[in-house]
Amino acid sequence: MSVAKKEYKRVTTKSLVEMKSNGEKISMLTAYDFTMARIVDGAGTDVILVGDSASNVMAGHETTLPITLDQMIYHASSVVRAAKRALVVVDLPFGSYQSDPKEALRSAIRIMKESGGHAVKVEGGKEIKESVKRILNAGIPVMGHLGLTPQSIYKFGTYTVRAKEEEEAEKLKQDAKMLEKAGCFAVVLEKVPAKLAKEVAESITIPIIGIGAGNGVDGQVLVTHDMLGMTHEFNPRFLRRYLNLYDDMTSAMKQYCDDVKAVDFPNENEQY
């Protein structure tokens, strides 16, 4: 059941908590550049995530591990220039916050100062509790990320569903509560059973944004390039493709190449 949408001129971390308490679902999509962010923002998406998935999507790496803090700042500053309404959340990349809380704070400050982003996102639970607290103490809003955390892919070994076993599910519940208590404004839950995700969403007051976590949570996030069908090698069950841009763009480009070869482009109206 959908709930009446309240108009927000600018979505803030507070708006998201308000949406949860009003039963309004939160929409979140990724963007890494100005042009895409302008479309995502103009479509009325509540949150734009400058995800470290830029490492895969923009740079072609196999994992999210190689992307650097400087690269994240570059992507985020382009997105911030386009976002007029959405809250812009920026991933702290692998290696920029795990080693110690002081380094975590320095990295988060660089994101906020140099990109103009509105919040940071970090992956993990109790292992990074002190870093989360240190960043929050400096007045920087933090979004958590639990379940399948791609920065730990070499620990997991695969991208399959997480927390199917009781022990991991229990830890996830405790981590979500810890992140709420520490002061995070929201948590992403990636690739966990829908029943568990619903239980977690119902047990805490901050929004749970799901990806592959069913519809019992407070909002959804997808990688924009996946939902537009610009990528075609990635086909998880949770992904709904709204367009097939890979094929559409390929045929447009083929047509352009044919037109150039045939001296059909440019025509008389397309020149000076």
Minimum Å gap between C-beta 49 and ligand KIV is: 6
Minimum Å gap between C-beta 230 and ligand KIV is: 14
Greatest CA separation found in the chain? Answer: 70
Residue of 7, 62, 190, 268 marked catalytic: 190
Say if residues 197 and 210 touch (Cβ distance below 8 Å). Answer: yes
- Exactly one of 15, 45, 53, 151 binds ligand KIV (CB under 6 A); which one? 53
Task: Report the residue number, 19 or 211, with the smaller CB distance to ligand KIV.
Answer: 211
Active site residue 190: yes
Pick the piece of the chain touching ligand KIV (CB under 6 A) from 51-59, 152-160, 164-172, 257-265.
Answer: 51-59
User: Closest residue (Cβ) to ligand KIV?
Assistant: 51
197 CB neighbour count, 10 Å cutoff: 28
Minimum Å gap between C-beta 121 and ligand KIV is: 7
- The values of phi and psi at residue 48, to 5°, are -105, 125
Task: Report the residue number, 233 or 268, with the smaller CB distance to ligand KIV.
Answer: 233
Minimum Å gap between C-beta 262 and ligand KIV is: 41
Rounded CA-CA distance 269/96 in Å is 53
- Exactly one of 51, 117, 125, 207 binds ligand KIV (CB under 6 A); which one? 51
Closest C-alpha among 228, 189, 254, 247 to residue 57 = 228
Interface with ligand KIV, residue 223, by CB under 6 A: yes
Say if residues 210 and 236 touch (Cβ distance below 8 Å). Answer: no
The pattern of x and - marking residues 187 through 216 that bind ligand KIV according to CB under 6 A reads: -x-x--------------------x-----
Task: Report the residue number, 8 or 238, with the smaller CB distance to ligand KIV.
Answer: 238
Minimum Å gap between C-beta 223 and ligand KIV is: 5
Residue 137 is encoded by which pair of tokens?
């103490």
Pick the piece of the chain touching ligand KIV (CB under 6 A) from 16-24, 31-39, 47-55, 106-114.
Answer: 47-55
- Exactly one of 41, 46, 52, 175 binds ligand KIV (CB under 6 A); which one? 52
Buried b (16+ CB within 10 A) or exposed e, 42-68: eeebbbbbbbbbbbbbeeeeeebbebe
Rounded CA-CA distance 91/76 in Å is 9
Rounded CA-CA distance 52/94 in Å is 9
Buried b (16+ CB within 10 A) or exposed e, 3-33: eeeeebeebebebbbebbeeebbbbbbbbbb
Element (H, E) at 177: helix 166-182
Interface with ligand KIV, residue 218, by CB under 6 A: no
Task: Report the residue number, 117 or 272, with the smaller CB distance to ligand KIV.
Answer: 117
In DSSP notation, 120-136 reads EE---SGGGHHHHHHHH
Minimum Å gap between C-beta 129 and ligand KIV is: 20
Residue 80 is encoded by which pair of tokens?
């911030």
Give the catalytic positions in this structure: 190
| Residue ranges in contact with ligand KIV by CB under 6 A | 30, 49, 51-53, 91, 188, 190, 211, 221, 223
